[in-house]
Amino acid sequence: MARDAALPPSKLSPLKLPLLPLLLLLLRETGAQDVRVRAAAEVRGQLGGTVELPCHLLPPAPEIRVSQVTWLRLDAPEGNQNVAIFHPQYGPSFPSPKPGKERLSFVNAGQSTGAGQGTELEVRDATLALRGLTVEDEGNYTCEFATFPRGTSRGVTWLRVIAQPQNHAETQEVTLSLDPVPVARCVSTGGRPPARVSWLSPLDGEARESQVSGPLPGTVTVTSRFTLVPLGQADGVKITCKVEHESFEEPVLLPVTLSVRYPPEVSISGYDDNWYVGRSEASLNCDVRSKPEPTGYDWSTTSGVFPASAVAQGPKLIVHSVDRLFNTTFICTVTNAVGTGHAEQVVLVRETPNTAGAGATGGIIGGIIAAIIATAVAATGILICRQQRKEQRLQGAEEVEDLEGPPSYKPPTPEAKLEEPDMPSQLFTLGASEHNPLKTPYFDASVSCAEQVGARERTREMPRYHELPTLEERSGPLLLGATNLGSPMLVPPGMPALETVSLDLEDEEEEEDYLDKINPIYDSLSYSSPSESYQGKGFVMSRAMYV
């Protein structure tokens, strides 16, 4: 194989030719496993500025020695071109006249590994700086590190030269026509690559673009014209030119206000359909929209007769007194630099004032006032209803709180009742047919009869409970002669200590003392055993019946 490689190219075997590129590729990949070059894939530089092409050898192992660093231009017109060379012992060299040593330099060529003359420089950073960037400098550049013992490693960088364009937009004043014409222009000058220009407009227009060479070689100037049919409605409308370029962080917006010259557009106002004979201080106004401004106003009538009481003052016609000559059509003619416009107004003169219009106006005003009053009344009613509902909710909440809590009324103790003032005797004068006094005594089933009898004997001298006789017992020998008390008072039969009771109605104090003694409400709720006559009846009297 070595012998074949030494032969001239014409003598190489056809079978061996495809093997050479494969062998070179394998050798390159083997060296790249340990040593590699880090270079930027793309670098952009401003036209006329300075750009740096980075190139670094990795890893920075001490056992790897750099023999030489070479920068080549791959797509030069004359073929591959050596742009810059750096040798560890002899230093930098720039063999190519373009760009030349005046514009090229190594940013950080190397570091000294020893002292004295002829010392070698260790090269790890071969970044190349290029000043005064031109369009011809754009292309592919290769950075090659020749190392020992690993061989050659390279990295490729594409250098792009860009130029930021200058932009401006302007309006183009046009005159009203029926054919589309350019009404605005936006120019992006000296861009590389060419800028992208568009329009933002509420009008239905069309953009027409053209490109020419820019002020510097390799740059482009883009001109975009916004075209539409210029009508009066387009005057004063704002549109925006939008310019986009890769050198801008965001698009450039350039607003433009359209300017269209058009003849006067005229209308007449001031007539209220209530011109009657003898009316004074009436007037007509000639309203105009035009560009440029009107240069003259002219008032006339279709009948050819102009009333003497009408005075024209520019766009206004003042009428001092209406007569039958005003029963005609008035014409207002306006002129500007572009053309002429006019408007007509028919006037009908009445014999008497027209009150229908005033009535209608009054009705409208009255309706508005009535609507306002009705709205106010409705709002007031709504507020009152809401306030009432709020108060009801608060009252209901208070009632719920009262029901959930303990009762607020606490009955007084029997001792406190005995200390109260004496009750009137009329409370106990009800007839027997209306109220029957409770007769059945309280009987506690949990206590034996013997215990209850013993307790009765112990408290006999101080009775705790007194019974009133029933209707059957009122006819007995205990009936008293108290006639002023309504129903006769009976003495309970089970009280031997009180055999007879005489109620002297003239002595009120004795009567009240007696009522206090026999009234069960003022007695204690606990009492002694009932009399033996009631023990066999099976009745139980609860304390709750006295509440």
More confident residue, 393 or 300: 300
**202 and 297 both lie in a single domain:** no
More confident residue, 336 or 512: 336
In the predicted model, what is the mean pLDDT of the chain?
A: 74
What pLDDT, on the 0 to 100 scale, is given for residue 129?
93
The 10s digit of each residue's pLDDT in 515-543 is: 555 555 544 444 444 444 444 444 444 44
The 10s digit of each residue's pLDDT in 53-109 is: 999 988 766 778 888 999 999 887 777 888 999 988 888 989 888 888 889 999 886
Listed residues 258, 293, 317: the one ending a domain: 258
Decide if 361 is inside a domain: no
Q: Which two tokens stand for residue 345?
A: 């107004």
Cα gap 308→232, rounded to integer Å: 36
Decide if 525 is inside a domain: no
**99 and 184 both lie in a single domain:** no
Where are the extended beta strands (E) located within 448-530? none
**91 and 207 both lie in a single domain:** no
Q: Which two tokens stand for residue 422?
A: 């004496």
- DSSP helix/strand/coil, 38: strand
Decide if 85 is inside a domain: yes
**74 and 141 both lie in a single domain:** yes
Decide if 190 is inside a domain: yes
**185 and 244 both lie in a single domain:** yes
- DSSP secondary structure code for residue 545 in this structure: G
Decide if 436 is inside a domain: no
Mean pLDDT computed over 44-51: 92
Q: In this structure, how many other beta carbons lie within 10 angstroms of the beta carbon of residue 118?
A: 7
Q: List the beta bridge partners of residue 301.
A: 330
**173 and 229 both lie in a single domain:** yes
**40 and 158 both lie in a single domain:** yes
Listed residues 258, 291, 320: the one ending a domain: 258
pTM to 2 decimal places: 0.54
Listed residues 205, 238, 258: the one ending a domain: 258
Alpha-carbon distances, residue 376 vs 362, 367, 368, 488 (angstroms): 21, 14, 12, 72
**198 and 269 both lie in a single domain:** no
**278 and 339 both lie in a single domain:** yes
Range(s) of the domain holding residue 275: 263-347
Decide if 97 is inside a domain: yes
Q: List the beta bridge partners of residue 38.
A: 56
What pLDDT, on the 0 to 100 scale, is given for residue 490?
41
**How many domains in the chain?**
3
User: Residue 418 carries which side chain, given as an amino acid letter?
Assistant: L
What pLDDT, on the 0 to 100 scale, is given for residue 197?
96
**152 and 187 both lie in a single domain:** no
Decide if 492 is inside a domain: no
**220 and 282 both lie in a single domain:** no
User: Over 70: is that where the pLDDT of 51 sits?
Assistant: yes
Decide if 480 is inside a domain: no
What CATH number corresponds to the domain at position 57? 2.60.40.10
The 10s digit of each residue's pLDDT in 175-198 is: 999 999 999 999 999 999 999 999
**73 and 94 both lie in a single domain:** yes
